[in-house]
Amino acid sequence: MSHKMRWTFAISSAAVFMVTLDNLVVTTALPVIRRDLHAGLGSLEWTVNAYTLSFAVLLLTGAALGDRFGRRRVFSFGLGVFTLASAAAALAPSIGALDAARARCRASAARSCCR
């Protein structure tokens, strides 16, 4: 394996790890989210599903954007938006704000992972 292939594999693996870790953290924190944000069961389901749904919807879009604007540029943009949306989700004052931030987070992850 060449040096460039190893570097690409490492960066792609780190992106997938970030997405998986973020999903695991939220799933683990659901009882605390329910208590602190006074969320109902339906809102908690949407908190997890919004993340997955937006990823699935924007997967092909992210790949097309990568082909059009350059994979590295789209990856960097997606990583930046992912980081900002994760911070917004962590600071969410309500369950609605949390769901919106998580949907944006997954959308940017779809853009950055599709290279």
∠ CA(99), CA(75), CA(4), 5° rounding? 145
pTM of the model: 0.67
Write down the pLDDT at residue 69: 94
Work out the mean pLDDT of the chain and round it to a whole number.
Answer: 81
Distance CA 92, CA 100 (A): 9
Distance CA 2, CA 39 (A): 49
Write down the pLDDT at residue 59: 76
Write out pLDDT tens, residues 4-46.
889 889 988 888 888 788 788 888 988 988 898 888 888 888 8
Helix, strand or coil for residue 39? coil
Write out pLDDT tens, residues 39-64.
888 888 888 887 777 777 777 888 88
Write out pLDDT tens, residues 65-76.
999 999 889 888
Please report which confidence band the pLDDT of residue 108 belongs to, taking 50, 70 and 90 as the band edges: low
Write down the pLDDT at residue 78: 83
